[in-house]
Structure 1
Amino acid sequence: MYENASEKKEKLLDPKKWHKQDTTWALSLFGTAIGAGVLFLPINAGVGGIISLLFITIFAFPVMYYGHRAFAKIIYSSKAADEGITGTIREYFGHTASKIFNLVYFFAIYTIVLMYSVAITNTAESFIVNQMHFNKPPRAILSLVLVIVLIAIVNFGQDLTIKVMSTLVYPFIASLIFISIYLIPQWNMSSLNVSSISTVSRGQGILGMLWMIFPVMVLSFNHYPIISPFVIKQRETYGEEATDAKCAQIQKYGYILIFSVVIFFVYSCVLSLSPKDLAMAKEQNLSILSYLANHLNVPIITYISPVIAFVAIIKSFLGHYVGGYEVMRDIIMESSRARGKELSEKTVKTMILIFVILTCWYTAYANPSILGIIESVSGPTGAVILCILPMYTIHKIPALAKYRGKASNVFVTAVGVITVLAIFKSLF
């Protein structure tokens, strides 16, 4: 036993040094965080001019860093850390709480799947009409075809889906940087005009406008699904005692990279348009890239922007669908077992496919506001998981007592509460 423990300790990497796997994980956090949600951030971040831009510049990094750090802490402090967040919640709060968490987790992920069904339909419709100069296709047919194609890609197999996603990540990030640089000649100062706020905030006032930035900001930088495997890998590589410091180090450098790229992209897009343009993009329910393609008379932007938007939305749809499918499958199978029935994997898969196709098709056809979904559903539920759950766990669980009493805890809790309360603000 002693020899095995010694051999295992010898295999651990030195946590004081930076290793290749640290770079790989920093880039993985980067790739997971930067998805299609980023394409809607410039609209809310820029619609209020300089005030909202400065607001997101100040708050984006600490929200992302402290929220995901707290999420990592509650996982690697658990004896069931190897089972990820589900095992962690089960250990801390029991089976019933674990089931409730799974439902909230599924709801948070699946509303994003529905949102991207709308986004891919609007992007395709805009491209067909504005770039290909064809007549607008029947929305019911277009949305159904797109949803079926996306689901068909997933059903080639999860391994292939993940491989496709990982292949798309880095060209997408490179494209965002390219677009940001290419837009520099289009920059103007009209978006930095404080007086423009009143014309685009629809009477909700500066505070109300800033309030509704929180849900979009939380969603745009969110990557909590990858935190569980990230923590598990650091425990295996560096040992339990070094996990906290190593996770903090990798997350810090990864988040500096994420923040730099996203904020550069946001500023470049916002400075290329006026607040009224951004309000129009929100009204037309388009991503910032689709609106830029239609608005700017720049050939390369006109044709490359919709392609980048397609890649981003498809990547994000596939990633969230995989996560949503696994949770939905577990919920259905546990529920059937509780009633004394055992459903086959094939039956469960068929049920999920029918449910996903019908709900995504209907949502895409109905064309609800994408930013409305983010503000009233996806952002707040994401804040429950990313901000409120970790802070409540740290407050309640004795094993996490050493993480209490920090100013960052108050900050994360406040952000979580403000973002959740945006549900009520969005109703008025």
Structure 2
Amino acid sequence: MKKWSEFDNRWMFSLFGTAVGAGILFLPIRAGTGGFWPIILMCILIFPMTYLSHLFLSYFVGSTKGGDITDAVNKYFGKEVGIVITFLYFFAIYPICLAYGVGITNTISSFMVNQLGLAEPNRLILAIVLITIMMAVMFTNETLVTKVCEWLVYPLCLILFLFSLYLIPHWKLEVLGEVPSAKEFITTIWLTLPVLVFSFNHSPAISTFSLNTYNEYKENSDAKRKQILFNNATLLLVFVMFFVFSCVLCLDSNEFGLARDANIPILSYFANKFDGNIISYGAPAVAFFAILTSFFGHYFGAREGLNGLIKKVSGKAVSKNNAFTTIFMYVTMIIVAFYNPSILGFIEDLGGPIIAVILFLMPVYAIYKIPELRVYKNGAACYFVAIMGIITITSVVYKILPAIMSLFTTH
């Protein structure tokens, strides 16, 4: 294998930037509700979950030797299954766009009320203004938007890391003495898995990554993907979980509950909690740009997914900015931002579990089902990825089970 190169370094940070977005701003809120100790096990689980799942997906896509994930799906599963996977792909990303519309509306509203001392703005008007601006950016130079987002990722990551260090003097080490019961411990981890999966997910970039590594390394591409993805997963583990640890050691479970009820990013909650211009004004600004940059990437993916569904169902070519897709995204984002549903609910109930299907279950199934992919079979690793994917998906069943049971309960 060739030595580590500038190409490898660039892709490691590109994958890192794809994963680190607004998800990191909500992960501490979900993870922190169970206290400090469950996060230790989350750290142990999330590294192999992230590394192996993305590695198997890259093997699946890379086996086409130059194609993307659509080519791989059509090649191995056929057109009908391709429609189903495109549908799942859309619904893994679309709810996150809705969540970001809610998040940016709440972030600005909280900033206007708590930092600027203004009256609470009319929510509908604020949502229309913010989402109109975000959508208008989509119709400018798309390449420029993508480049700007890439440039913003790295200073944002640096600022979040510095924020993690800034919180150290505020750590409450007595939190270490709060040990949850076994049931609370397991439940916390189980219900946090969808948010963990979402926060570490960089699957939207795997197709391009697999294609580029094949073009660069040819017969050595599999080994290089393995090396780059391993280093990227290590970087993500250190960066994201240090931020989570730092947040959890500053707040108690009740405060995380308040942040969840307020439906705002963790940085906005800290801005309201701490005095001082750096946090009060800097934290909402970082949250705003983190949501904004993450939204653009997810909007491109959701638009691609919806256009792909329309094309597959109608059999006709669809323009990138076709009217139906644009109006549908615009109107639904405003409606959802106005009604202000739980952002973590979107991630836990829709985004995380559906991502788990595409990222954890589909590649493992293909490796066992498709003869030419069986060279990638690794019993223990494949079983681990599949089991963790299933557990992530079942967390939704756990949450909706009481509602289902109530339908059969007579009062």
Same fold, judged at TM 0.5 (above): yes
String of CA shifts for 1:205-231, please: whole Å, max 9, x gaps.
Answer: 332222101001000000101011111
Gaps of 5+ in 1: 1-14
Whole-Å Cα distance in 2 between the matches of residues 107 and 404 of structure 1? 29
The number of aligned residues is 401
Amino acid at match of 1:40: F
Where does residue 193 of structure 2 map in the other structure?
Answer: 214
Where does residue 421 of structure 1 map in the other structure?
Answer: 394
**2:257 equivalent to 1:271:** no
Whole-Å Cα distance in 1 between the matches of residues 388 and 291 of structure 2? 27
Amino acid at match of 1:171: P
| Candidates 131, 138, 141, aligned match of 1:157 | 141
Amino acid at match of 2:185: I
How far is 1:344 from its partner?
A: 6.7
The question of whether the paired residues in 2 share the 8 Å contact of 1:46 and 1:191 is answered with no
The question of whether the paired residues in 2 share the 8 Å contact of 1:372 and 1:426 is answered with no
The question of whether the paired residues in 1 share the 8 Å contact of 2:36 and 2:245 is answered with no
| Candidates 152, 173, 182, aligned match of 1:168 | 152
Whole-Å Cα distance in 1 between the matches of residues 256 and 45 of structure 2? 21
String of CA shifts for 1:61-116, please: whole Å, max 9, x gaps.
Answer: 111111111111111123xx423101001000111111111111011111111111
What are the residue-to-residue correspondences of 1:96-175 with 2, within 5 Å?
96-175=80-159
| Candidates 208, 227, 230, aligned match of 1:229 | 208
| Candidates 64, 77, 82, aligned match of 1:93 | 77
Amino acid at match of 1:259: L
TM-score by length of 2: 0.94
How far is 1:44 from its partner?
A: 1.6
User: What is the identity percentage for the equivalent residue pairs of Structure 1 and Structure 2?
Assistant: 41
Where does residue 364 of structure 1 map in the other structure?
Answer: 337
Q: Which runs of 4+ in 1 moved over 4 A?
A: none
Give the 3-state SS of the residue equivalent to 2:66 in structure 1: helix
**2:165 equivalent to 1:178:** no
Measured at CA, do residues 173 and 344 of structure 1 come closer, stay the same or move farther in structure 2, by a change above 3 Å? closer
Whole-Å Cα distance in 2 between the matches of residues 167 and 217 of structure 1? 25
The question of whether the paired residues in 2 share the 8 Å contact of 1:190 and 1:275 is answered with no
The question of whether the paired residues in 2 share the 8 Å contact of 1:50 and 1:193 is answered with no
Give the 3-state SS of the residue equivalent to 1:83 in structure 2: coil
What are the residue-to-residue correspondences of 1:213-362 with 2, within 5 Å?
213-239=192-218, 241-337=219-315, 345=319, 349-362=322-335
The question of whether the paired residues in 2 share the 8 Å contact of 1:105 and 1:385 is answered with yes
Measured at CA, do residues 24 and 398 of structure 1 come closer, stay the same or move farther in structure 2, by a change above 3 Å? same
String of CA shifts for 1:146-178, please: whole Å, max 9, x gaps.
Answer: 111110111113212212211211111111111
Where does residue 32 of structure 2 map in the other structure?
Answer: 46
Query: Which 10-residue stretch deviates more, 266-275 or 133-142?
Result: 266-275
Where does residue 405 of structure 2 map in the other structure?
Answer: none
String of CA shifts for 1:40-63, please: whole Å, max 9, x gaps.
Answer: 111122211122221212112111
Gaps of 5+ in 2: 403-411
How far is 1:272 from its partner?
A: 1.5
What are the residue-to-residue correspondences of 1:69-80 with 2, within 5 Å?
69-78=55-64
| Candidates 6, 31, 34, aligned match of 2:20 | 34
Query: Which 10-residue stretch deviates more, 49-58 or 148-157?
Result: 49-58
Whole-Å Cα distance in 1 between the matches of residues 309 and 215 of structure 2? 29
TM-score by length of 1: 0.90
**2:349 equivalent to 1:384:** no
Give the 3-state SS of the residue equivalent to 1:82 in structure 2: coil
Whole-Å Cα distance in 1 between the matches of residues 362 and 318 of structure 2? 33
**2:66 equivalent to 1:82:** yes
The question of whether the paired residues in 2 share the 8 Å contact of 1:49 and 1:193 is answered with no
Whole-Å Cα distance in 2 between the matches of residues 57 and 392 of structure 1? 26
Where does residue 188 of structure 1 map in the other structure?
Answer: 172
The question of whether the paired residues in 2 share the 8 Å contact of 1:110 and 1:320 is answered with yes
| Candidates 356, 361, 370, aligned match of 1:397 | 370
Whole-Å Cα distance in 1 between the matches of residues 91 and 36 of structure 2? 34
How far is 1:343 from its partner?
A: 6.8
The question of whether the paired residues in 2 share the 8 Å contact of 1:108 and 1:377 is answered with yes
Whole-Å Cα distance in 1 between the matches of residues 106 and 208 of structure 2? 34
The question of whether the paired residues in 2 share the 8 Å contact of 1:158 and 1:322 is answered with no
Amino acid at match of 2:135: I
Whole-Å Cα distance in 1 between the matches of residues 43 and 378 of structure 2? 26
Measured at CA, do residues 344 and 398 of structure 1 come closer, stay the same or move farther in structure 2, by a change above 3 Å? closer
The question of whether the paired residues in 2 share the 8 Å contact of 1:37 and 1:219 is answered with yes
Whole-Å Cα distance in 1 between the matches of residues 5 and 296 of structure 2? 30
Where does residue 348 of structure 2 map in the other structure?
Answer: 375
Whole-Å Cα distance in 1 between the matches of residues 146 and 332 of structure 2? 23
